[in-house]
Amino acid sequence: MERSLQKRAPIYEALERFRRNRVVPFDVPGHKHGRGNPELVELLGERCVSIDVNSMKPLDNLCHPVSVIKEAEELAADAFGAEHAFLMVGGTTSAVQTMILSCCKKGDKIILPRNVHRSAINAMVLCGAKPIYVNPDVDQRLGISLGMKRADVERAIEENPDAVAVFVNNPTYYGVCSDLRAIVKMAHEKGMKVLADEAHGTHFYFGNNLPVSAMAAGADIASVSMHKSGGSLTQSSFLLTGKGMHPGYIRQIINLTQTTSGSYLLLSSLDISRRNLALRGEESFKMVTELAEYARKEINQIGDYYAFGREMVNGDSIFDFDPTKLSIHTLDIGLAGIEVYDILRDEYDIQIEFGDLGNILAYLSIGDRKREVERLVTALADLKRRYKKDKTGMLTQEYIAPKVVMTPQDSFYAEKESLPLKETKGRICSEFVMCYPPGIPVLAPGEEITDEIIDYIVYAKEKGCSMTGPEDERIERLNVLTGR
């Protein structure tokens, strides 16, 4: 497809035609271009609510695209180097679940790192797949999980030749990439599909000197969070497929769980953002990379912080590193990442993407400028001066290898009882526990609860992590299997 065609945005263009026609709405949504909800118009603006419309022939239908949405998908596939692209309005959660549901049936094995987003384990709850976890490598100093070692993936494939797929984070939340090309080669030689969670890798498709994208590496399916580094509205994503995947079947899987009332605000934002990156992405992400490198240099000069980058690359479990990711280790100032996160927001009006027990992540993308980065650097220097303390007794380990006893589905739907957290040691959990963000479970259904996990949960709560997942909103009790 010619580059000139990437200047088109068919969904956006169709909405503009619709708006000019001043159509009288006797369909949903019930706010009728905002007339029935003036406060909504005041919040979002008349132009926005006027294009919050339902599927109709001139605007196509997300469940079965035949015109403008189909054109938008074809343009996206071309821009991302994929065989097919699907516009997703249920976030990358929906895209990840589609990847797994399209490859796995009940009892099928899937090889994956344990530091996956909860959406991957949710998909196994739905379809009954059996996880074969590869424990990611761990950086002991930083307390973060890394990528999968090639030898560990190879061993998992050899020991589970009946597995149907290998799932890879590309990259992890911290910007760490496994050797995706090597994993694709190993998996394909054994007839397994490769599924890539690229929630944090949209820019890999449009920048230079960035890690390899899933489609370029030959993966079969990839989930891409366009709303993260790509600039579209929150909850909008792409699902990409490579050669040999049946798009009609993938669409059927998407339609099992995705809404039949796709938001045209989300769809048009995907369309416009794809056009923006196709035309200007290379230049934009070069600027983002330079901004992140500048920030790393300035933050490391403060002392006691460690903004890590490509010096971490080891050719295996850190095969490559995303240089746009600004992750900062905070333990040497005696504060957990989540504590720095809270202070930056409460004292300096700076909202960081997330903080864990030892690190913070400042998410840089196409909307950032040098002045905001300088404000962050200044705030971190002042924060160190005001709050630095002895780091003795601080917990550093971020990844705890799970003891998997049952499949996520069997344990999630089993008979269960609620116990106080401190009394759950040795029992089998039937729900999730995680800090959000990033939404990587500390505990997932089917895993044994250990002293180490209990200590982690208590410590993370004390430090102020946003713990989510359990039925008990205070996370003082956990659901465990009855009699197990």
363-374 tens-digit pLDDT: 999 999 999 999
Dihedral sign for Cα atoms in the order 366, 116, 213, 273: negative
pLDDT at residue 357 tops 50? yes
pLDDT-derived band at 437, boundaries 50, 70, 90:
confident
Q: For 366-397, what is each residue's pLDDT tens digit? A: 999 999 999 999 999 999 999 999 988 888 76
- Count Cα atoms within 13 angstroms, Cβ side, for 43: 5
At residue 58, the pLDDT reads 93
Residue 38 lies in a domain: no
At residue 247, the pLDDT reads 97
User: What residue numbers bound the domain in which 347 lies?
Assistant: 280-387
pLDDT at residue 106 tops 50? yes
At residue 279, the pLDDT reads 96
Measure the CA–CA gap between 114 and 109, rounded to whole angstroms.
14
Residue 403 lies in a domain: no
β-partners of residue 479 are 418
Residue 398 lies in a domain: no
Dihedral sign for Cα atoms in the order 181, 187, 189, 193: negative
Do 377 and 234 fall into the same domain?
Answer: no
Nearest to 123 by CA among 136, 110, 113: 110
Domain endpoint, select from 254, 278, 302: 278
Measure the CA–CA gap between 76 and 60, rounded to whole angstroms.
17
> What percentage of the chain carries pLDDT values higher than 90?
93
For the residues 232-259, what does the mean pLDDT come to?
97
Measure the CA–CA gap between 361 and 366, rounded to whole angstroms.
16
Do 427 and 375 fall into the same domain?
Answer: no
Measure the CA–CA gap between 341 and 148, rounded to whole angstroms.
28
Measure the CA–CA gap between 161 and 109, rounded to whole angstroms.
9
Q: For 76-97, what is each residue's pLDDT tens digit? A: 999 999 999 999 999 999 999 9
| Helix 10-20 × helix 68-80 angle, to 10° | 150
334 neighbors 304 (Cβ within 8 angstroms): no
Domain endpoint, select from 323, 355, 387: 387
SS (H, E, C) 396-462: CCCCCCCCECCCHHHHHCCCEEEEEHHHCCCCEECCCEEECCCCEEEECCCEECCHHHHHHHHHHHH
Do 141 and 253 fall into the same domain?
Answer: yes
Domain endpoint, select from 278, 305, 339: 278
Helix, strand, coil percentages in the chain from 3-state DSSP, rounded to 5: 40, 15, 40
pLDDT averaged over every residue in the chain:
95
For the residues 302-324, what does the mean pLDDT come to?
97
CATH of residue 470's domain is: 3.90.105.10
Do 349 and 463 fall into the same domain?
Answer: no
At residue 22, the pLDDT reads 84
CATH of residue 63's domain is: 3.40.640.10
Least confident of 21-25, 133-137, 213-217: 21-25
C-beta pairs of 249-255 under 8 Å, 24+ apart in sequence: 249/102, 250/84, 250/86, 250/98, 250/102, 250/221, 251/63, 251/64, 251/86, 253/98, 253/101, 253/102, 254/86, 254/88, 254/94, 254/98, 255/63
For the residues 262-273, what does the mean pLDDT come to?
97
Do 62 and 209 fall into the same domain?
Answer: yes
135 phi/psi in degrees, rounded to 5:
-65, 125
176 phi/psi in degrees, rounded to 5:
-90, 135
Do 241 and 349 fall into the same domain?
Answer: no
75 neighbors 273 (Cβ within 8 angstroms): no
Do 268 and 290 fall into the same domain?
Answer: no
Do 239 and 166 fall into the same domain?
Answer: yes
> What percentage of the chain carries pLDDT values higher than 70?
99
| Count of domains observed in the chain | 3
Do 288 and 263 fall into the same domain?
Answer: no
Residue 353 lies in a domain: yes
Nearest to 87 by CA among 231, 194, 240: 240
Q: Exposure of 108 by Cβ count < 10 A (0-12 exposed, 13-18 middle, 19+ buried)?
A: middle
Do 251 and 331 fall into the same domain?
Answer: no
pLDDT at residue 329 tops 50? yes
Do 229 and 185 fall into the same domain?
Answer: yes
Nearest to 466 by CA among 336, 340, 355: 355
Residue 432 lies in a domain: yes
Q: Which residues are CB-neighbours of 290 under 8 A, at least 6 positions away?
A: none
The DSSP call for residue 171 is: S
At residue 2, the pLDDT reads 60
Least confident of 77-81, 226-230, 434-438: 434-438
CATH of residue 368's domain is: 3.90.1150.10
Do 201 and 93 fall into the same domain?
Answer: yes
At residue 218, the pLDDT reads 98
Residue 51 lies in a domain: no
- Count Cβ atoms below 10 Å from residue 102 Cβ, excluding itself: 25
Residue 22 lies in a domain: no
First to last CA, the chain: 58
pLDDT-derived band at 1, boundaries 50, 70, 90:
very low
Residues in the chain, how many? 484
At residue 406, the pLDDT reads 96
For the residues 114-140, what does the mean pLDDT come to?
96
Residue 125 lies in a domain: yes
Q: For 30-58, what is each residue's pLDDT tens digit? A: 999 999 999 999 999 999 999 999 999 99
